[in-house]
Structure 1
């Protein structure tokens, strides 16, 4: 037993290392783990930016329709849009339920979706299709203070930052990818910034600084 331990263990370790170094083996995939990106968005002073939309267009597009875990709906409640920013896949139909005691008339003059919904009351719902990617700013013809935003995307790797400015994207393939950060108060054309990032497998982290109005 002692002889086997002294001789066999180094051979086993060397064999494991050699196998793990071979691309495409079970061991190399296990060691790298699924690709994920944890990103924090901060402003020029280093303060976390909440509700920034982060999109990653990977080198290899994901197959099949895009499905997000949240509902494709933006309610009107307390004379506000809820949520204030919603991410939807290109081609999605978004519901606009009115949960207020007053009537609303939703509209948008944004290039990706120009529309106007006539007045409708409490517990009624209207819908709108968003067929073009980009950012859509929403308002209400009756209540000028109401502002909402819909970000229409064609990638499944998209999410909003939390109150600490963090977002985590996972499941994308390796290779060069385009990273887009959008926020309605960003001081850039289209309120977004783009950069290139290399996805190498496993967990990665990055911080992005943006300038806000």
Structure 2
């Protein structure tokens, strides 16, 4: 089954508990599409990545989704749903790759074996920008427009972490050590301004009509 994000329930005996996390900016505004993830202290609570393949599509000359969280060891495919060619690449140390000009096709899936940030671009359309955030845990989700994230995790101790490409706060400083024994509500409040949103540009004239 193809998917954009993951919420996994444990297969062992520990009871799953709901964890609600709200992420707000230093101006008390909700932070949309922040990746919220819980790293278990117990290896028992960790699970191997699923066999599902995640999708980073290209629609209307934009990557969809803009932010894709996946578990380390997962695969991602990069279909081109446009009628024009795209040339996807990443120079990020977490995963360097290049998918040369292709059109109306599904490129082969790529395996992501390291955790961290993977910034994506297109050599044909310079404004196209997206991120894959690879986490070493099966418990992750993106925040909604209200800045909320809901997860179900086994009881136990975790490190709560948050990531977004616009966050300037030190990620380790934002991390929280928590002990989930029942329904849990948490808040992550940023202290620094968010970086400029570069996900969309008004001027999308690329001058590469030969590639259309």
Superposition RMSD in Å? 2.0
Displacement of 1:200: 3.6
Is the partner of 1:94 in helix, strand or coil? strand
* Match of residue 5 from structure 1: none
TM-score between the two structures when normalised by the length of structure 2 = 0.77
Question: Unmatched 5+ residue regions in structure 1?
Answer: 1-32
Q: Is 1:115 aligned to 2:90, yes or no?
A: no
Q: CA offset at residue 162 of structure 1?
A: 0.8
- CA distance in 2 between counterparts of 1:109 and 1:85 reads 17
TM-score, with length taken from structure 1: 0.77
Q: CA deviation at 1:36?
A: 2.3
Deviation at 1:192, TM superposition (A): 6.9
Q: Which has the larger radius of gyration?
A: 1
Runs of 4+ in 1 over 3 A off after TM superposition: 191-194
Structure 1 pair 39–96 and aligned structure 2 pair: CA distance change class (3 A): same
**Which residues of structure 2 form unaligned runs of 5+?**
1-14, 196-212
Is 2:185 the counterpart of 1:202?
no
1:77 maps to which residue?
59
Matched, 1:66 2:66: no
Does the 8 Å contact 2:56/2:64 carry over to 1? yes
Structure in which a larger fraction of residues adopt helix: 1
Q: Quick check: 2:19–2:184 contact (8 Å CA) kept in 1? A: yes
Q: Does 1:181 align with 2:162?
A: yes
Q: 1:116 to 1:89 in 2, by over 3 A?
A: same
Distance (Å, rounded) in 2 between the aligned partners of 1:75 and 1:209: 31
